[in-house]
Structure 1
Amino acid sequence: MSSERERTYHHGDLRRAILTAALDVIAAHGPAALSLRDLARRAGVSHAAPAHHFKDRTGLLTAVAAEGYALFADALAGAPDLRERGVAYVRFAATHPAHFQVMFRPDLYRTDAPEVTAARTRATEALRAGVADLPPGGRGEDGRLAGVAAWSLAHGFATLLLSGNLSDAMEGRDPEAAFRSLTGLIFTPENRRDDGEAGL
């Protein structure tokens, strides 16, 4: 590819172009399909350009995870309660499938990268805040386990949704509405808010 084409990118634009190409590949074929040389071709730059910005494949996936956790934290923070945080979780997975595939695969990226840990901490705090807002009866004896239960429900639903395993069960239902209904079925009356709404 000509250097003239490569020079049309500003420094930040080239990094974004490579990331966008990576997200397209992951969404369509999974993280295993990533190749820096192929991404360079897709972005219309020299084969060395991705390595200049990300060093290697792991560095690129680290950038994907960091961006994903930052977007995820923002999505969770905007939800008013734990159940709506669960809905935001499902919505994030549906709208950012490539990020979602990478974020929860710590074997793919550098989990100790500062940008990853900072964003992941924000997301974790948003989930914990949702559990903390539950009335005492809704958290059970162990608030940490209540958080694990909420996370498992949202993550499991989102994962099954993305993999196409809920197609028959959903019967054309809106995923977010279905998840809201699901929380009411799974959580017992003891785990519901005082106003009768499901705790998650």
Structure 2
Amino acid sequence: MPPSLAPTLMQMDVMGALSFGLINIILAFFFVDLFDTLGTLSALSSQAGYMKDGKLPKAEKALMSDSVATAVGAALGTSTVTSYVESASGIGLGGRTGFVSVVVAALFLLSIFFSPFVAAIPAYATAPALIIVGALMISAIKRIDLDDITESVPAFIALITIPLTYSIATGLQLGFIFYPLIKIIAGRSKEVHPIVYLLAIVFAARFVYIG
């Protein structure tokens, strides 16, 4: 039988979370979750061929389902329920519709009853699958305009930062910071949307704040 949820179900300290001292921590978790999700969705959508002119159609629905799952997962006391880059393995094998997610969810539900056996599998046993996922994800690099240094350098900084920091959010934030900076240096500041400038300032302030 699967382990009981009783020790973690609805065990939130809501009043403690509302204290002023935890605002910074809550914001940190918010930004990490938000940009990890944005980065994952963008990469997976690009691999699946859903991106149109650099935009993800119906992104608000994807973010809404992700946020609801995150909240429900927290109420259950589980680790964060969110989008994972491992989904690239399913996309690489031809998965393109929501039915794939339904089948995977059903299989996860069945796997609950085999949790003692799953727990016995060492973490390093998943390494080959993760290497394949990484190879599938890196295929999107061919869409970067390598002839335009103002586009390629920020992308390279984001790409190299993600594995070094083990954080998609950190890589995206540095990309957002260097993209407008390099555009300004190149005298092409008008090509950058005002929201990108705003995000760059916010992310730079965050890096300064956390040291």
Q: Assess same fold via TM > 0.5.
A: no
TM-score range, shorter chain: under 0.3
TM-score of the superposed pair, with normalisation by structure 2: 0.26
